[in-house]
Amino acid sequence: MGFTQTIKNIWSVEDLRHRIGITLLLVVIYRFGCYVVLPGVNPDSLMALKNFTSDGLMQLLDMFSGGAFSQASIFALGIMPYITASIVIQLLGMVLPAFQKMQREGESGRMKLNQYTRYLTVLILLLQGPAYLMNLRYQVQAAGGYVDFGFWSVAFMTIVLAAGSMFIMWLGERIDQKGVGNGISFIILIGIIARLPEAFFQEFTQRLMNSAGGGLVIFLVEIVILLAVIAGAVLLVQGTRKVPVQYAKRVVGNKQYGGARQYIPLKVNAAGVMPIIFAQAIMFIPVTVAGFSTSQNGFWGSLTNMYSWTYNIIYFLMIVAFTYFYTAITVRPQQMAEDMKRNNGFIPGIKPGKPTVDYLDSIMSRITLPGSIFLGIVAVLPAIAYVCGLNRSFAQFFGGTSLLILVGVVLDTLRIIEGHLLMRHYDGLMKDGRIQGRTTGKGAF
């Protein structure tokens, strides 16, 4: 009854109903474009490309693009070039004074940074487009097909691929403005979910065919474990340590300000999925170099096997290290201490200034350790699931970037819907508390 009433409340809010409808319409347009093949490419000759994207980093890229990468679609490059550009601009904002100044300029600075991000996205697309087409030609020829890849054909297809990715970015911005949730994150979510039904069905069929008498029980156990992993991912996304901040009283004229106690929520996993992305990018280097080497045995060969113990131990340690690194450059205790001092706030029992900075830094170091270890475990779970006999596609949903993005985006979207309901004096989506998203702002990563 409670769920039915919640649906009725959502439907009764005209603005929310309108936003959900626009979001679904834009999602349908996006999914339709994922099946529009590049001009001059025969869809029947793409089986080799699908096999090429069935494992490793290529499988991750194909998942983020909703299968468009393996189908040689006009959306084949997906939204990843924009995300790459966003990460680069974000890192530049931490090291270059000019970008730091734009970050402090408020809305005008944010618009400038967004414009630079778009320019960098186009540049990345113009570099990735020909590389994707060269790989496409190789895969099509391996399947016995033929595609005209002359200079003008490559230039034309590169423009089509770049336009397709920019159109996806435009769809994401429309979802931001007129829909529900963060558009870029939501598009990535749709791409991940699009692979779930097929992976689910393949695992179900495999269990029924390969296990005589106990296949269904094993499949149900896998579902229970998956739900437990999702619950753990929710805790990782939402986990915070609250630091109390006392604000001193101020009297301005006849009015009194301050005196209240508030809390700074320090996240257990402040780095999000960025450590996994960085580690995956570096661990993909041995796989790339191996393509030019005839020797793939021993230690080097184990680095090219995503399911070996050597690969996953190094992968795990890199994620822990990158979690500390990314947390250190994104969470700034110095800035927090200055903001508190500027607003006449202080942490009870801690002197303002450097002692406050040291205190916040020590807390972040303590809570980042369990968060980084848990993040590393979640990242290697797909490999463990595959080694235990799960279907490769289904195993990807047991952890890694896909699970964390899925959980984070769903929580953010539900939080936004709940906010619309509360603004109109309806009950929230949950009676025992409010939904917490990944961050107080927008952004997938």
Q: What is the CATH number of domain 196-439?
A: 1.10.3370.10
Predicted pLDDT of residue 152:
82
CA torsion angle for 358, 362, 364, 368 (degrees, to 10)?
A: 150
Q: Which residue has the higher pLDDT, 116 or 145?
A: 116
Cα(346)–Cα(340) distance, integer angstroms: 6
341: tokens are 């001092």
Cα(163)–Cα(183) distance, integer angstroms: 18
* Confidence category of residue 51, pLDDT binned at 50, 70, 90: low
Angle, alpha carbons 120-194-202 (nearest 5°): 135
Predicted TM-score (pTM) above 0.85: no
Of the listed ranges 48-62, 182-196, 427-441, the one predicted with least confidence: 427-441
Class assignment of domain 1-179? mainly alpha
Cα(276)–Cα(253) distance, integer angstroms: 53
Convert the pLDDT of each residue in 179-214 to its tens digit. 887 788 888 888 888 888 888 888 888 887 765 556
Q: Are 211 and 203 in contact (CB under 8 A)?
A: no
Closest CA to 162 of 130, 207, 208: 130
Cα(385)–Cα(381) distance, integer angstroms: 6
What is the per-residue burial (b if ≥16 Cβ within 10 Å, else e) of 159-196? Answer: ebbbebbbebbebbebbbeebbbbbbbbbbbbbbbbbb
Convert the pLDDT of each residue in 366-383 to its tens digit. 888 888 888 888 888 888
What is the per-residue burial (b if ≥16 Cβ within 10 Å, else e) of 364-385? Answer: beebbeebbebbbbbbbbbbeb
Residues 6 or more apart whose CB falls under 8 angstroms from that of 54 comprise 392, 393
Residues of each domain in the chain carrying CATH 1.10.3370.10 = 1-179, 196-439
Cα(77)–Cα(119) distance, integer angstroms: 16
Q: What share of the chain is helix, strand, coil (3-state, %, to 5)?
A: 70, 5, 25
Predicted pLDDT of residue 419:
77
